[in-house]
Amino acid sequence: MYTVRFFHDSGFTQLMPVMLGKSVDPLGPDPGSSVVKIPEIEYQGEKLRLTTSMILHKQVAVKGIGRIFIMSPNIRLERAERKESGRHLFEFTQADFEMSGAKKDDVFGLLEDYYRGLSEFLAREASEEFEALGIGIFEFKPPFKRYTTHELFDKYGEDWERQASLAHDQPFWAICYKREFYDKEDPKEEGHFLNYDLIYPEGFGEGISGAEREHEFEVIHRKIKRDKLDLSPYATYLKFAKAGLIPSAGAGIGMERLARFLSKSKHISEVTLFRRVPGMPVDI
């Protein structure tokens, strides 16, 4: 409720989610991804994929509308070992948003307002529920610290996400990951990327991913080829790119991960009614 109201109050237009797409998020190459395959169905002679994220749809939609958000269900068939992480579901929902003409600082500012307001909202509306859980309401205190992934790697080593998360008592931004083609490479610094994650403290780890976007056809086309992706699933998206995408930035807030963090739950399955945990059977 808070999330939907926040985006409406901040001038975003809510779109309904799409569950099938011709062009969907490839989720890679990303060292953090363990997705085994993107499920496809054939219908009316076309191959359609289950939505891994609506990033490519967001890029198309933001051009006309300016500020959009979607409570977006995603399917990501993760390897069974991910059960142990405590924070992976193979079906989850992200509050996915995109803003035309925005830079990463605009996204940070918006999301820091979101978290500040969330603590206030919970104190007002949910103190009894937190009392029943026997825990306090987490007080988000933005602005959150900002680090590059290189700084974090130098300080905490290979396992930096977990170690740095344990060493912090407030969320922090980790900036610059080499990942999917649609995240923008820094034009001033080749090999650096204008993308970011928000890492929750106390060992809870990543809760948000986002980026400034590539919007030029030539760059997108070159990077899809760089990643050795089959071009055919991206044909429709590339057509939109050729017709002209616009600069934008955005992110997706993992809703179950946020609920897990706020409720201090050990495993993310504790905050979902119909759990979809890699390596575990589906009940219903």
Interface positions with ligand ASN (CB under 6 A)? 25, 53, 55, 94, 96, 209-211, 250-252
Interaxial angle between packed helices 2-9 and 104-125, expressed in degrees from 0 to 180 and rounded to the nearest 10: 130
The reply to whether omega before 171 is within 30° of 0 (cis) is no
CB nearest ligand ASN: which residue?
252
**Distance in angstroms (rounded) separating the CA atoms of residues 183 and 188:** 15
* Nearest alpha carbon to residue 72 among 88, 91, 96: 96
| Cβ closest to ligand ASN, residue 39 vs residue 136 | 39
Minimum distance from residue 167 beta carbon to ligand ASN (Å): 26
The pair of three-digit structure tokens given for residue 96, joined into one six-digit string: 């996915």
Tell me whether residue 14 or residue 127 sits nearer to ligand ASN (CB atom).
14
Reduced to 3 states, what is the DSSP secondary structure of residue 283?
coil
- Minimum Å gap between C-beta 30 and ligand ASN is 8
CB nearer to ligand ASN: pick between 93 and 165: 93
Q: Which is nearer to ligand ASN, 179 or 260 (CB)?
A: 179
Tokens of 140: 């988000």
Give CA–CA dist 73/11, Å, rounded.
Answer: 22
Is the Cβ of residue 21 or residue 137 nearer to ligand ASN in the bound state? 21
Which is nearer to ligand ASN, 94 or 100 (by Cβ)? 94
CA dist list (Å): 266 to 169, 200, 222, 237, 270: 17, 14, 42, 39, 8
Report the nearest approach of ligand ASN to the CB of residue 222 (Å): 20
Cβ(224)–Cβ(234) under 8 Å? yes
Q: Which is nearer to ligand ASN, 99 or 122 (CB)?
A: 99
DSSP 82-94: GGGGSS--SEEEE
Residue 64 Cβ, how far from ligand ASN at the closest point, in Å?
A: 18
Pairs from 278-281 (Cβ < 8 Å, separation ≥ 24): 278/77, 278/78, 278/79, 278/80, 278/81, 278/82, 278/83, 278/88, 278/89, 278/90, 279/79, 279/80, 279/81, 279/82, 279/83, 280/83
Closest distance between ligand ASN and the C-beta of residue 17, in Å? 12
Q: Give the nearest distance from C-beta 104 to ligand ASN in angstroms.
A: 11
Calpha distance 97→249 (Å, rounded): 9
Task: State the minimum distance, in angstroms, from the CB of residue 210 to ligand ASN.
Answer: 4
Q: How far is the CB of 48 from ligand ASN (least distance, A)?
A: 19
Closer CB to ligand ASN, residue 233 or residue 250? Answer: 250
